[in-house]
Amino acid sequence: MVKRFLSLEWKQFSRASYFQKGIAIKILLFFAAAYFSAIAIFFGIGIFFILKKAMPNTDPMVMVNNFLIYWLLFDLVIRFFMQQLPVMNIKPLMTIPIKRETVIHYLLGKTAISFFNFLPLFIFLPFTIVLLVQGYPVVNVLCWFVSVMTLTFCNNFINFLINKNNAYFYSIVSVLAIFIGLEVYQIFKISEPIGVAFNTLFNQPYLVLIPMLLLVALYRINFNDIKKGFYLDGAISKKVETVSTSDLSWLDRFGSIAVFLKNDLRLIWRNARPKQVLMMSFLFLFYGLIFYTQEAYQKMPAFLAFASMFVTGGFLMTFGQLVPSWDSEYYKLLMSQNIPYRKYLESKWYLMVVAVTISFVLSTPYLYFGWKIFGMIAAGALFNIGLNSFITLFGGALNRVPIELNVKAKAFSNTNGFNPTQMLIALPKLGLPMLLFYIPYKLVNFEVGIMVLALSGVLGIVFKNFFLSKIENLYQKGKYKTVAAFAEKN
């Protein structure tokens, strides 16, 4: 039966219109996984010798056990934000004689085939081999390794629970918040007894049964949680919600594009995926803290220009790059209306301009770092409005991957709506501001570099109609291909 499930999923993937794009994404993800795996292997080999050199009077094994809890917590946080949980179209399977237990076991089994489960293997397996070479007891080391990998899979099923059930999420977050508070305010160092527990786990190999029993319990809890809702009437019944309306009449001042702006604001307010992107774009405001607080970057002004563009370009880089995929669920209806394509594109441009402006206002605390830095942020905002917005809309003409608006996917890892072409389009968005600033900076001075970057944005605004006309022609040429691609869901 597992073979049959795998065959059905492969047919669904290979027969889709996005097959080639999906293959390209998988290849890119494979190279990224290979890169991080190599880093993990080198880290796993070197950590023993690094600790031995740094603290020669302390057993590296004891040090690793003392800090193992931090690794597991970090692993859980990364999983929550980045691990894409497996999905399966179960409605057709409910009408044929296949046991519910079989489908649920297969779905939970798919969670095991995740990069996040294999990454600890690349760290702890080399570390385990080093321990054995250094003469540590074989049984103790092997049982410790099995315990750590078992706890990794426990994290996998904990993540499954907190993503599917808000009660589990708030319970675990509350417990972690209490532990962190006790640790930070030195009321009780929770990490110390946990470190002792992991060292005991190493010294007493038979205790490997505890993580195994915990894994079985978590698997069973997940199994029962899924089984509760695994009914045909539960799957096909629609959840009725009261939709709150808001007065958006103030947008009428924008004339004929007001209807599109209202539609976009409602889309963001009422759907899960746009809300995620909006929250993620807010985090871009803090991007400058990575660069402006480091003395090393002060000697590399080109990277400061890069950071300044990101500070105000969060919404443009996240929401804007997925135009027109946001409208994929009703794109056919939208294109059948008697409305100019130009108005549709202009509304998206105004939406990005407003977002950049708001981000610039919110970035005023960066005045703390001086007028030069804030001037660079202002120049970056003008570049985003005048050039970056048009480059983003141009990339949208090549984006024909639909988006499911209410899929609560990971904002940092979800490839729904992703197109490899976007990576190529991203190159001028990232490199152009650095180039526009660096050349005049190198030839003249810092202030001239800022002026040229800002002037490029002003020129883009002046030639707004020219750029929009060119982009409109691209959208018009690919209109029917886009409609056909959006008609087929991922």
User: Residue 203: CB partners within 8 Å, gap ≥ 6?
Assistant: 140
Single-letter residue type at 354: V
Q: What does the DSSP assignment read for 297-319?
A: HHT-HHHHHHHHHHHH-HHHHHT
Q: At residue 194, what is the residue type?
A: I
With tokens 């202002």, the residue in question is 378
pLDDT reported for residue 225: 83
- Cα–Cα distance measured from residue 342 to residue 468, given in angstroms and rounded to the nearest whole number: 7
What whole-number distance in Å separates Cα of residue 462 and Cα of residue 55? 63
Per-residue pLDDT tens digits of the chain, which is 490 residues long: 667 666 666 665 556 555 555 566 667 667 777 887 888 888 888 888 888 888 888 888 888 888 888 888 888 877 776 776 665 556 666 667 777 788 788 778 877 777 788 888 888 999 999 999 998 999 999 999 999 999 999 988 888 888 776 677 677 777 777 877 777 777 777 777 888 888 898 899 898 999 999 999 999 988 888 888 666 555 444 444 444 555 576 677 777 777 788 888 888 888 777 887 888 888 888 888 878 887 777 777 788 888 888 899 888 888 888 888 888 888 888 888 777 888 888 888 999 998 999 999 999 998 888 888 899 999 999 999 999 999 888 888 877 777 777 655 444 444 444 455 555 667 777 788 888 888 998 898 888 989 999 999 999 999 999 999 999 998 888 888 888 877 765 4
Cis peptide before 340 (omega within 30 of 0): no
Find the helix or strand (DSSP H, E) in which 22 lies: helix 19-54
Is residue 418 packed enough to be buried (19+ CB in 10 Å), middle (13-18) or exposed (0-12)? Answer: buried
Tell which residue, 22, 126, 114, 34, has the closest CA to residue 75: 114
Q: Which of 172, 161, 132 is nearest to 224 (CA)?
A: 161
- Quote the pLDDT of residue 183: 72
Q: So what's the pLDDT on residue 413?
A: 43
Residue 490 CA to residue 478 CA, distance in Å, equals 20
Helical H segments across 229-300, by residue range: 232-236, 258-270, 272-283, 288-292, 295-298
The H or E element that residue 294 is part of is: none
C-alpha distances (whole Å) from 13 to each of 9, 23, 367, 408, 490 are 6, 10, 50, 21, 8
C-alpha to C-alpha distance for 145 and 213, rounded to whole angstroms: 16
Put simply, whether the predicted model's pTM sits higher than 0.85 gets the answer no
Q: What is the CA 427 to chain-centroid distance, rounded? A: 19
pLDDT for position 147: 92
d(CA 339, CA 328): 17
Indicate the helix (H) or strand (E) that contains 287: none
Could you count the other beta carbons within 10 Å of the beta carbon of residue 146? 15
Q: Identify the sign of the CA torsion 240, 246, 249, 251.
A: negative
Cα angle 68-111-198, degrees, rounded to a multiple of 5: 15
Model pLDDT, residue 209: 93
Per DSSP, helices labelled H in 111-137 are 115-133
Largest separation between any pair of C-alpha atoms in the chain: 78
What pLDDT score was predicted for residue 235? 45
User: Which residues in 312-361 belong to E strands, given as ranges?
Assistant: none
Compute the distance between CA of residue 321 and CA of residue 197 in angstroms, rounded to an integer.
Answer: 48
pLDDT score for 24: 62
Quick one: which of 87, 107, 82, 88 has its CA closest to 32? 82
DSSP state of 97: S
The DSSP secondary-structure symbol of 178 reads H
59-68: buried (b, 16+ CB within 10 Å) or exposed (e) per residue? ebbebbbbeb
What 8-state DSSP symbol labels residue 487? T
319 phi, psi to nearest 5 deg? -75, -45
CA dist., res. 309 & res. 286, Å (int): 12
Query: Which candidate, 436, 445, 444, places its Cα nearest to that of 382?
Result: 436
